Amino acid sequence: MSKVAVLGYGTVGSGVVHVLSENADIISKKAGESIEVARVLDLRDFPGDPIQEKVTHDFADIENDADIDIVVETMGGTKPAYDFVKRSILAGKSVCTSNKALVADHGTELIRIAREKGVHFFFEASVGGGIPILRPLNRCIVADEILSIRGILNGTTNFILTKMADEGSDYADVLKEAQALGYAEADPSADVEGYDTCRKIAILTALAYGAQVNYEDIHTEGITDISATDIAYAKKLGYMIRLLGMSTRSDGKLYALVAPFMIPHSDPLYSVGGVFNAITLTGNMLGEVMFYGQGAGKNATASAVVTDIVEAVKNRDTAVTIRWDEEKQTISSTGSMVSRFFVRLDAGSRDAVGTVFPGAELTDGVKDDEIGFVTGEMSEKDFESALGKLNGVVKSIRCM
């Protein structure tokens, strides 16, 4: 029997306990032995909950319990999560976490320490919730050079953009609805400003290319500037606006970006609506594959955590290699990234568009005093230079 301690009995932590109990038989068959929750660490008590008899308020009770094999961290943030996780690994316990902030900030160090101690540090649920993406990236897609990663990695922003498209509503109104439904926090900045997506694409990129990526180096834009008018233009042109995290390697340089993109109908990410997430990987031999599913939620995220627990049990005496070196990768300037661009501008500038952007696809505006157009492929640096030659520019959005 393997004994597990859960740090944090919130949404995900209680979900882990529920999944281990509800699916105990199938989990024990797949793990080769039964798995029992021995301790739960939380600041609170839970009177009336059967878990109460296992609750402790002192991490040392877990750290010093030699019978506990695996620690599950679902507290969120980096303090005190980092301290508790590191101490768990140093005590010879494997750790499974859903904490993207912890993994983005300290993942490479914790992987190294776990390797030195002969235990595991697994973090499947830190990106994409219940979507299995990190293990396939690390263990299945190993014969390919990864050319690019693209992902809708945040359910809150995808819900907001989908509702804006479906109802023609403004951002502020849909944000209030998302908060009322529990899809957005009272302070939604981590989601809507793109920071959550940024951490996740940093983790994916580090695993894809085998070395540290500092999320602070990734150019990040959110969705707060996307309006109902932008959405209307996108629909008119056959696009959907999605917040994407993406990275690509080209000519020996690594690029990464988080920003709203207009996605054409032919792209598989076009149809990923609501709170769902999706990630596409492109390999030089495999081509493009997509992973799709619930990117958040109690049971979906807990399912991914429990899968990591089972992996830790099955590989107790086997090293599972995670290639993520501490050497930092350099993120190149987005100025050299190539894309297409949608531009809104005053109708009076129509005649100048063809001169500045030859071959641009013009469309009548959804507002009487505007027009819109889509450029051909060009670098961001060249686009910004050309755009400066036009008067009356209202907005520009990248296009796939």
The amino acid at 259: A
b or e along 11-23 (b: 16 or more beta carbons within 10 Å of the residue's beta carbon)?
Answer: bbbbbbbebbeee
- Strands 239-250 and 146-152: what pairing? antiparallel
Q: Is the pLDDT of residue 321 over 90?
A: no
What is the Cα–Cα distance from 125 to 295, expressed in whole angstroms? 9
- Cβ pair 164, 174 in contact under 8 A: yes
- Cβ pair 226, 396 in contact under 8 A: no
Q: What pLDDT score was predicted for residue 240?
A: 98
The amino acid at 26: I
What is the Cα–Cα distance from 216 to 214, expressed in whole angstroms? 5
Q: What pLDDT score was predicted for residue 380?
A: 97
Q: What pLDDT score was predicted for residue 182?
A: 87
- Cβ pair 211, 328 in contact under 8 A: yes
Number of H helices, E strands in the chain: 14, 19
**Structural domains in the chain plus CATH codes:** 2-130+298-325 (3.40.50.720), 141-293 (3.30.360.10), 336-399 (3.30.70.120)
Q: Which residues of the chain form beta strands (DSSP E)?
A: 2-7, 35-41, 55-56, 68-73, 94-97, 121-122, 146-152, 211-212, 219-220, 239-250, 253-264, 276-283, 287-294, 325-328, 338-346, 361-364, 370-374, 378-379, 393-399
- Cβ pair 2, 33 in contact under 8 A: yes
pLDDT per position as a tens digit, 11-47:
999 999 999 999 999 999 999 999 999 999 999 999 9
pLDDT per position as a tens digit, 219-239:
999 999 999 999 999 999 999
* Largest CA-CA distance found in the chain, in angstroms, rounded: 76
Q: What tokens appear for 154 in the block?
A: 């945040």
- Strands 287-294 and 370-374: what pairing? unpaired
The amino acid at 98: S
How many angstroms separate the Cα of 138 from the Cα of each of 159, 289, 367? Answer: 29, 15, 48
pLDDT category of residue 319 using cuts at 50, 70 and 90: confident
pLDDT per position as a tens digit, 51-107:
999 999 999 999 999 999 999 999 999 999 999 999 999 999 999 999 999 999 999
Give the mean pLDDT of 325-337.
94
- Of the candidates 238, 202, 242, 236, the one whose C-alpha atom is nearest the C-alpha of residue 223 is 242
Q: What pLDDT score was predicted for residue 16?
A: 98
Q: How many residues does the chain have?
A: 400
- Whole-prediction pTM: 0.95
What is the Cα–Cα distance from 131 to 155, expressed in whole angstroms? 12
pLDDT per position as a tens digit, 352-372:
999 999 999 999 889 999 999
> Which is the catalytic residue, given 3, 200, 381, 389?
200
Instruction: Indicate if 235 belongs to the active site.
Output: no
| Residues of the chain above pLDDT 70, percent | 100
Q: What tokens appear for 381 in the block?
A: 């640096």
- Cβ pair 304, 129 in contact under 8 A: yes
pLDDT category of residue 295 using cuts at 50, 70 and 90: confident
Burial of 88 (0-12, 13-18, 19+ CB in 10 A): buried
What is the Cα–Cα distance from 161 to 243, expressed in whole angstroms? 8
Q: What tokens appear for 318 in the block?
A: 């086997």
Q: Is the pLDDT of residue 197 over 90?
A: yes
pLDDT per position as a tens digit, 279-290:
999 999 999 999
Q: What pLDDT score was predicted for residue 392?
A: 96
How many angstroms separate the Cα of 206 from the Cα of each of 33, 140, 154, 191, 219? Answer: 33, 16, 19, 21, 16
pLDDT category of residue 301 using cuts at 50, 70 and 90: very high
Q: What pLDDT score was predicted for residue 180?
A: 93
SS3 340: strand
Q: What pLDDT score was predicted for residue 320?
A: 85
Q: What is the mean pLDDT of the chain?
A: 96
What is the Cα–Cα distance from 50 to 353, expressed in whole angstroms? 68
DSSP annotation of 392 reads S
Q: What tokens appear for 395 in the block?
A: 């907005």
